Structure 1
């Protein structure tokens, strides 16, 4: 048991405890403010560095944009120089464009730009800008520079010949150009567009859209140039027939083919033969067709397409028409040919825009303004006799051919004229060369309606004169079509006559024809539905029509009706087809007439 402490001891213990309590404690350092300051300093440093990098990248992007804009200006100058035939200026412009695009690429190659590409969101935009710069630089070197060496004069004639060696070199150039465009599109395809800001996304899309527009044109040019030397007789002589269709007596493919110009081609040298007239085909109508005919075509048009030469272009299929022409040629002309090029007076008027006026043996001057009216109408007022008409047409064909082969046509305008004529179905071509045939497959120039609805859901409206006259010149046609719910296709074809009573009173017999009154124009209209469809209705001016024939032809339903226009009246055919499948966009194929045919397509029926 412990002894109780004394008062003194108790006081000493209290004093010791108090002293201990009052002794100074060791000081703890306040660390957190220094951490905050350090973080702020680091953030400021990062911000300053980021701002510097950001400013640098922004400046680089601005430089790249400036260089690319300058390059585009240079490219436009290259295009103008090529069209003007100034290869020196085109070459300088191409070099300048290449320098600008190289500078644009350089602006996107430093470490700051690469650093920026790794950042979220903004990085993908910088990658896109760099890719566009690189793609454009590739275009400058792989497309613009080679294109700057193109001489459009290589497409023109010199002393009646085209330089096939130059065409071969052009083919190689366009192969390089075509590959350059494909490479550029492949580069743009790699860009991840999910996080791109508006202006950058728009820039990428715009470049891609433009390349996709020009790509097919370059591919087509390359393909055409690859077969052109052979077509021009580089590997052996070729014989062709240049066929002229007269739209004043309408046929599905254009008109009555009454004039033919044989052409012999060897190593680029083109020599014309003697003009052949349809009157040179003897014993018409033949008791039997000159070649075996497609029974489906006979069902719609009758076997006269093979027994009477003015009717073989009734069939809206150019290879079939050429096959029948081969029959007539073998029977009465006794020569052979490897291809046929068909053209009408409207297309000739386009060619005359490139050549300028030509003077005929009669003293008449044929121009782009008067060619259609003179060749399709006025000639019959001036020359009542068919032999005089044939001489006039032969002179026109000879004069234009001479003008073109003399190299007097503007190559740019001539190419534009031919493309325009082909787009309108006024320029048709058929060859026994499979490679050439494949090139123009599915184009209007082939004269073959699409065999499926995959690329376009096409309807056809074709006109054939039934008056035995040249009065189709006074007809205008307008067509519209639309697609209803469920894929059904419907539309209208409106025929309007411009023939007045005063004009009817003065028509010569060759225009008036022997079967109808001068005031009346009888036409057969054949309507084709989409591939695999079914005709569900056809009316004329709202009344049920009485088809003259109907059935399947060219893989489509076809129906033929007669429309008779009296003076300046108008008649409307309404048609409808039920379709199981309409894959491609709706399109209208029709007869090229003396004047343009408005064709309106509505994606959906209102």
Structure 2
């Protein structure tokens, strides 16, 4: 009888394991089919997923599994598998059909003939909300389980499952906000006017790059039109467009509020957007804007995967060459800055026309947009408090954290100080090393390493406009000065600072909204690397793993962050 009991239990466990594994395979197949817009394959995968999920749920519902849940050693694991099976059934019954509805309509959501179909976006509110609620329920169920109490093989799988469900929850929460906000932000309740900022990563700024040009975009009931285009250099004044705080004056200086091109010396995108908007509205009071959208050439290269090549004059921009053409080759091909501005305006108009006339590859466009937002290359701000309050919960808003969380918040932000386009050759690596945890207080070493990919022998051939004002600040041609700012943990401390392994010294700090800000200026010669390391300390209670924000550059940053030291 004992052997029979063991065999029956083993058989049931094996059935559930197979059903859950098959469910994971079916879910991956469904995701791929939706991405490839293959309805027949999606139908098959959904049916398989429903069957396997039902089998797992049935296998963990009877008396055998109930007994397993009360046994020592394996009871927690059996209970976790039961919760996972139950959550899976809920997802399959509620979330999957709703998401299929959204996926089936995605091709109808993009601009056609210059207009975004706002009614179709609004129609997605119910299915997106249904999927969001279902995923939220599942996430709440999974959160009931203490992963540390599970056996090794299940523990890692469980954490992977929780991570995927949490990511789905975050994505759906963002999608729900998007379908709620887009109809009004695109003129559903009356014309809206947005300021489109093009950030040039070849001259790095804290949010990404120099705002070299700006354009007015009008949205009226979803119909988009491109208006006035202005070079950032034409929006420079002597009077602050907004008052600065004492901390802003000490960290950035007065030009933050007088020079359109320096408004994003601060890494807080909503603050930069407010300054850009105030500058524009002061200069063009008859055409005020009520929101800001920023994008850089790297994100543009992602979008070109969906739009296909775009020809501007004698140059054809593709996803492969756009970054090099817009951040480097243009300065060799067009030496006169005003002529460069003309070219950039032509590129903006061509991209805008292609995007609004209709994009065929919806999946590629959504993937490009997601990548751009994730990397901090696409940002959005609304001057209407209710809209901005909704946006501020998501990374697309680019908000600088100032509210304490369990996870220590750190930030590394760069600004070109050479007056050049040398950041095209700049590469950044960041490392956060756990040092200690004493009485729930963590210490970390935060290191930024800046490298130049410019070969020393190529420095002499640089155009003067690219090399910048190196002679006025006693540099050699090809050198660049980069301002590096560390934003320390909220309510914590930046203890010491060390450049290239020198003896650590007390770091000069300016307090800003509860965060210590340390500033250092690094000279990066051609072909060389320079590093700076800060020792930071969290307040008691911030015992989670650190979160690090960085300035997006011409290429992806190299990032290594240790888990919590506690």
2:209 is equivalent to residue 246 of structure 1: no
The 1:378/1:148 distance shift into structure 2, 3 A limit, reads same
Q: In 2, Cα distance between the equivalents of 1:528 and 1:63? A: 52
| SS of match in other structure, 1:273 | strand
Query: Which residue number in structure 1 is paired with residue 111 of structure 2?
Result: 157
Match of 2:552 among 564, 579, 592: 592
Query: Which residue number in structure 1 is paired with residue 35 of structure 2?
Result: 83
The 1:209/1:565 distance shift into structure 2, 3 A limit, reads closer
Query: Which residue number in structure 1 is paired with residue 415 of structure 2?
Result: 464
Query: Which residue number in structure 1 is paired with residue 424 of structure 2?
Result: 473
| SS of match in other structure, 1:488 | strand
The 1:192/1:591 distance shift into structure 2, 3 A limit, reads closer
Q: CA deviation at 1:249?
A: 1.3
Q: CA deviation at 1:383?
A: 0.9
Check the 8 A contact 2:411/2:486 in 1, yes or no.
Answer: yes
| SS of match in other structure, 1:368 | coil
CA-based RMSD of the aligned residues comes to 3.5
After superposition, what is the alpha-carbon deviation per residue over 1:385-404, rounded to whole angstroms, capped at 9, x for unaligned?
Answer: 12210111111112222222
The 1:577/1:87 distance shift into structure 2, 3 A limit, reads same
Check the 8 A contact 1:478/1:597 in 2, yes or no.
Answer: yes
Match of 2:373 among 409, 422, 435: 422
The 1:87/1:572 distance shift into structure 2, 3 A limit, reads same
Q: CA deviation at 1:188?
A: 5.7
Question: 1:449-460 maps to which residues of 2 (within 5 A)?
Answer: 449-460=400-411
Structure 1 length normalisation: TM-score?
Answer: 0.80
2:457 is equivalent to residue 502 of structure 1: yes
Check the 8 A contact 2:26/2:49 in 1, yes or no.
Answer: yes
Q: In 1, Cα distance between the equivalents of 2:151 and 2:421? A: 62
Structure 2 length normalisation: TM-score?
Answer: 0.86
After superposition, what is the alpha-carbon deviation per residue over 1:445-490, rounded to whole angstroms, capped at 9, x for unaligned?
Answer: 3222211341432222222222222122222222222232242332
Query: Which residue number in structure 2 is paired with residue 41 of structure 1?
Result: none
The 1:391/1:197 distance shift into structure 2, 3 A limit, reads closer
After superposition, what is the alpha-carbon deviation per residue over 1:522-552, rounded to whole angstroms, capped at 9, x for unaligned?
Answer: 2222222222233332232344799997421
Q: CA deviation at 1:186?
A: 5.1
Check the 8 A contact 2:191/2:221 in 1, yes or no.
Answer: yes
| SS of match in other structure, 1:174 | helix
Check the 8 A contact 2:293/2:378 in 1, yes or no.
Answer: yes
The 1:409/1:547 distance shift into structure 2, 3 A limit, reads farther
| SS of match in other structure, 1:257 | strand
| SS of match in other structure, 1:450 | coil
| SS of match in other structure, 1:246 | strand
Q: CA deviation at 1:132?
A: 5.1
Query: Which residue number in structure 2 is paired with residue 520 of structure 1?
Result: 479
After superposition, what is the alpha-carbon deviation per residue over 1:55-90, rounded to whole angstroms, capped at 9, x for unaligned?
Answer: 778767766666665555544443233222234553
2:236 is equivalent to residue 277 of structure 1: no
Mean alpha-carbon deviation: is it higher for 324-333 or for 340-349?
Answer: 324-333
The 1:104/1:325 distance shift into structure 2, 3 A limit, reads closer
Q: In 2, Cα distance between the equivalents of 1:600 and 1:172? A: 40
2:122 is equivalent to residue 168 of structure 1: yes
Q: In 1, Cα distance between the equivalents of 2:283 and 2:149? A: 71
Question: 1:192-231 maps to which residues of 2 (within 5 A)?
Answer: 210-231=164-185
Answer with 1 or 2: which has the greater Rg.
1
Check the 8 A contact 1:527/1:559 in 2, yes or no.
Answer: yes
Q: CA deviation at 1:588?
A: 2.4
| SS of match in other structure, 1:354 | helix
Query: Which residue number in structure 2 is paired with residue 143 of structure 1?
Result: 95
Query: Which residue number in structure 1 is paired with residue 495 of structure 2?
Result: 536
Query: Which residue number in structure 1 is paired with residue 272 of structure 2?
Result: 321
Q: In 1, Cα distance between the equivalents of 2:151 and 2:551? A: 49
Q: In 1, Cα distance between the equivalents of 2:58 and 2:560? A: 50
Check the 8 A contact 1:467/1:521 in 2, yes or no.
Answer: yes
Gaps of 5+ in 1: 1-46
| SS of match in other structure, 1:247 | strand
Q: In 2, Cα distance between the equivalents of 1:595 and 1:314? A: 20
The 1:436/1:507 distance shift into structure 2, 3 A limit, reads same
Check the 8 A contact 1:460/1:528 in 2, yes or no.
Answer: yes
Q: CA deviation at 1:272?
A: 1.6
Q: In 2, Cα distance between the equivalents of 1:224 and 1:377? A: 35
Q: In 2, Cα distance between the equivalents of 1:69 and 1:545? A: 52
Check the 8 A contact 1:482/1:489 in 2, yes or no.
Answer: yes
After superposition, what is the alpha-carbon deviation per residue over 1:349-370, rounded to whole angstroms, capped at 9, x for unaligned?
Answer: 111122222111x121111111
| SS of match in other structure, 2:124 | helix
Q: CA deviation at 1:574?
A: 2.3
| SS of match in other structure, 1:221 | helix
The 1:483/1:103 distance shift into structure 2, 3 A limit, reads closer
The 1:265/1:103 distance shift into structure 2, 3 A limit, reads same
| SS of match in other structure, 1:148 | helix
The 1:54/1:596 distance shift into structure 2, 3 A limit, reads closer
2:292 is equivalent to residue 337 of structure 1: no
The 1:117/1:455 distance shift into structure 2, 3 A limit, reads closer
Q: CA deviation at 1:295?
A: 2.0
| SS of match in other structure, 2:194 | strand
Check the 8 A contact 1:289/1:307 in 2, yes or no.
Answer: yes
